[in-house]
Structure 1
Amino acid sequence: MTRLWLVSILMHAGLLCLVTPAVQADIYRYVDSNGVMHFTNTPTTSEYSFYLKESPPAGVKKGAFNGSFDEIIERHASANRLEKALVKAVIKAESNYNPKAISNKGAQGMMQLIPETAREMRVADPFDPEDNIRGGTRYLRKLLDLFNGNLDLALAAYNAGPGAVRQHGGIPPYTETRNYVQRVKGFIDVYR
């Protein structure tokens, strides 16, 4: 009787393995004030930082876009009258093309949209490449229009916020922002 029960359980487990889809997720973690590590594949706060990239199981295709986001970038760059090289450069500088990126300030996705900007640009899922790039390109267009097409000021505003650019009457004197503008412009040259 025990043997029959064990065989039945093993058969059911085998069937579950056949019908259960392969799941893959990036892992994020944070250490709380008591030193306890917390792990998740769906970070809900900016306290979490990227910890581990899980590779797809053998034989499973990697991502819906097979690692290439060119079509999405082309479509949204064109729709927002932006140079494709600019959009690629911002994505490279912001997230290095990681759709699941989260900054220590809470910016999310490939174009690192803070939640307030994501809401303003009507981004429902900042971790969805299509939604994130759509919102990020709309925001870039808005900043370029706000600063009369001045790329340096628009990039500075993308990094530090438009209020900081207005307050300082130009690129704010923040090392991070000044370096960011130069990095993005360097990437634009690479992508042209």
Structure 2
Amino acid sequence: MSEDSGDSGGGASAEGMGTAVKTGMAVGGLGCLMSPVAMTVAISSVFVIGGFGVLFAPLIALILFFGGGGGGGDGGADAPDPDRIAGIIQGDGSGEFDPKSVPEGMADPITEAGALCPDIGPVVIAAQIDQESGFRSDKTGPDGEQGVSQLPPDVFTRLGKDDDDNGKTSALDAADSILAQGRFMCELADQLRPLVSAEPLGDLLSLTLAAYDAGPDAVREAGRVPRTNASQQYVLAVRAKFAIYEGAVPASPPTQDTEGQ
């Protein structure tokens, strides 16, 4: 869109950097800005996600420096590769899923949910769960969302099944929640596919992630990832976690809260 192209100058880059920094801090659970040492591993490249130019240097630096919330690395042979991480963040989330990166008992439903359609892989599912609930199966959201995937209640009622065969269908059951998440993501991808062919500034995964967070109507109305801080930060935050669940960043596996199960 012509009006959008005018936003790709210094102002947009500064805004993108601010978003990347805030997202990186959220990903790593940080309470302080990155040190100058971290900047030495940054990549000074501009990538396009959902039609916006985002300067990933501060985000990559934060991920590498803080190891995505675990690990660390000393710059040796096993240190994270910033170029690989940049490619993963910008990619389609179809990389190989590391089952050791998620709480025990969640790898199988995440793998199954990530095999329901070719557009959504298990890495995407895991990164979303991390962003939505931090793998807390007992979490309740402000609008009644429940479980690890934090689906709107009406969506879970429609798409939820007894996927763990325990005799009940509940968003508080991790498998039920995760498989419903996978069905919903595949459904959103199908709904938004025509928008990708009509709008070159949007990629299907970013549009689908934005629709999961803000609703498909908001994405259709915008014709892209909505130009709001909430939508932009959600898409970037989920993408920033891809490297963790592909095993590209050393991180301690999260634990699952199971009070709701």
Structure 1 position 119 matched with structure 2 position 157: yes
Structure 1 residue runs of 5 or longer lacking an equivalent are: 1-64
Q: Which residue of 2 aligns with 1:146?
A: 191
CA gap 1:127/1:147 in 2 versus in 1, 3 angstroms: same
Identity %: 27
1-side partners of 2:121 and 2:132: how far apart? 17
CA gap 1:140/1:101 in 2 versus in 1, 3 angstroms: same
Structure 2 residue runs of 5 or longer lacking an equivalent are: 1-101, 162-168, 194-202, 247-261
Deviation at 1:107, TM superposition (A): 1.5
1-side partners of 2:148 and 2:189: how far apart? 19
Structure 1 position 106 matched with structure 2 position 160: no
TM norm structure 2 = 0.46
Deviation at 1:66, TM superposition (A): 7.1
Deviation at 1:77, TM superposition (A): 1.4
1-side partners of 2:178 and 2:117: how far apart? 11
**Higher Rg:** 1
Specify which structure has the bigger relative contact order, considering alpha-carbon pairs within 8 angstroms and separated by 6 or more residues: 2
CA offsets 1:133-188 (integer angstroms, 9 cap, x no match): 11000001111122227011000000000011111111122211110000001111
Deviation at 1:79, TM superposition (A): 3.0
Alignment partner of 2:182 out of 137, 145, 158? 137
CA offsets 1:98-138 (integer angstroms, 9 cap, x no match): 11111112211111011111122134311111110110000
Structure 1 position 72 matched with structure 2 position 93: no
Deviation at 1:84, TM superposition (A): 1.2
User: 2:114 aligns to what SS in structure 1?
Assistant: helix
CA gap 1:96/1:141 in 2 versus in 1, 3 angstroms: same
CA gap 1:129/1:159 in 2 versus in 1, 3 angstroms: same
Query: Aligned pair count?
Result: 128
| Alpha-carbon contact 2:210-2:234 (below 8 Å) kept | yes
Q: Please, what is the CA RMSD of the aligned residues?
A: 1.9
1-side partners of 2:223 and 2:112: how far apart? 33
Deviation at 1:90, TM superposition (A): 0.5
Q: State which drifts further: 88-97 or 165-174.
A: 165-174
TM norm structure 1 = 0.62
CA gap 1:175/1:125 in 2 versus in 1, 3 angstroms: same
2-side partners of 1:115 and 1:135: how far apart? 11
CA offsets 1:7-29 (integer angstroms, 9 cap, x no match): xxxxxxxxxxxxxxxxxxxxxxx
Alignment partner of 1:90 out of 128, 133, 147? 128
User: 1:79 aligns to what SS in structure 2?
Assistant: coil
1-side partners of 2:188 and 2:121: how far apart? 14
2-side partners of 1:113 and 1:121: how far apart? 10
User: 2:115 aligns to what SS in structure 1?
Assistant: helix
CA offsets 1:29-83 (integer angstroms, 9 cap, x no match): xxxxxxxxxxxxxxxxxxxxxxxxxxxxxxxxxxxx9744101111221233331
User: 1:126 aligns to what SS in structure 2?
Assistant: coil
